[in-house]
């Protein structure tokens, strides 16, 4: 059962980033998806054109991702199709962000980061957040490579294991490897979830 007040709150926030129709349809899609482990194409209650358009936007913004993928866990490797039984899933960070909008009406990414890291078993949440915010500040177009990450870690002089930190960020949906760009450059690259740049 859709809570109209919750839907209105989410819609109001999304109107700041999308046009009216996109914000309305995206609010319905995100509301439905945040209360389920996954959603199938035919469970999304919209006409075909709207459903396909809004799924494309949600996928581009990494808000909802197809489960089907090429080898590896990278967001860019996810295969978007519009088959009736196709399944889509929300990254954990987005699930927390949407829940927080429904609760307090703001895009509280600080709280969502903390919630997702704690859920993933992270004990050093404060330093992980400091590290992540600095990475976000120095990223270019929400992307950065492992060398820059190491430089940031050294600059901050924080006691975290880089491999463990990246693994945790990936599992929380905070970051994703960029496999194609890494192959071209020879250096591991990552993208930070674009919603963590939203005000």
Q: Which CATH number do you get for residue 174?
A: 1.10.10.10
Domain, as residue range, for 122: 108-197
Residues 75 and 129 both lie in one domain:
no
Q: What is the pLDDT of residue 129?
A: 97
Among all chains, which residue has been given the structure tokens 């895009």?
107
Q: Is 96 inside a domain boundary?
A: no
Among all chains, which residue has been given the structure tokens 């960029």?
178
Q: What is the pLDDT of residue 184?
A: 57
Among 63, 90, 117, the domain-final residue is 90
Largest distance between two CA atoms of the chain = 53
Residues 76 and 123 both lie in one domain:
no
What are the pLDDT digits (tens) for 123-163? Answer: 999 999 999 999 999 999 999 999 999 999 999 999 899 99
pTM for the complete prediction?
0.91
By C-alpha distance, which of 27, 39, 98 is closest to 66? 39
Q: Is 103 inside a domain boundary?
A: no
Among 90, 120, 144, the domain-final residue is 90
Give me the number of domains the chain comprises.
2
Residue 45 in contact with residue 1, Cβ under 8 Å?
no
Q: Is 192 inside a domain boundary?
A: yes
Q: What is the pLDDT of residue 66?
A: 94
Residues 121 and 190 both lie in one domain:
yes
To the nearest whole number, what is the mean pLDDT of the chain?
A: 91
Q: What is the pLDDT of residue 4?
A: 67
Residues 38 and 117 both lie in one domain:
no
Q: Is 141 inside a domain boundary?
A: yes
What are the pLDDT digits (tens) for 63-93? Answer: 999 998 766 679 988 989 999 999 999 999 9
The whole-number average pLDDT for the span 93-100 is 95
pLDDT band per the 50, 70, 90 thresholds, residue 36: very high
Residues 54 and 10 both lie in one domain:
yes
């Amino acid at each position: 059962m859709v809570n109209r007040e919750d839907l209105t709150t989410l819609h109001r926030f999304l109107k700041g980033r999308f046009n009216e129709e996109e914000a309305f349809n995206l609010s319905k899609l995100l509301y439905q998806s945040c209360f389920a482990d996954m959603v199938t194409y035919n469970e999304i209650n919209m006409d075909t054109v709207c459903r396909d358009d809004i799924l494309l936007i949600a996928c581009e913004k990494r808000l909802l991702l197809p489960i089907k993928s090429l080898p590896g866990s990278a967001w860019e490797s996810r295969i978007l199709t519009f088959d009736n039984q196709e399944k889509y899933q929300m990254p954990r960070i987005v699930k927390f962000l949407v829940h927080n909008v429904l609760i307090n009406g703001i895009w509280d990414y600080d709280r969502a980061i903390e919630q997702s890291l704690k859920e993933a078993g992270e004990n050093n949440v404060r330093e992980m957040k400091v590290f992540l915010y600095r990475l976000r500040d120095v990223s270019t177009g929400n992307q950065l490579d492992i060398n820059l990450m190491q430089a940031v870690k050294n600059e901050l002089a924080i006691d975290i294991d880089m491999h463990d930190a990246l693994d945790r960020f990936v599992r929380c949906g905070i970051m994703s490897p960029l496999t194609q760009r890494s192959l071209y450059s020879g250096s591991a690259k990552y993208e930070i979830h674009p919603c963590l740049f939203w005000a």
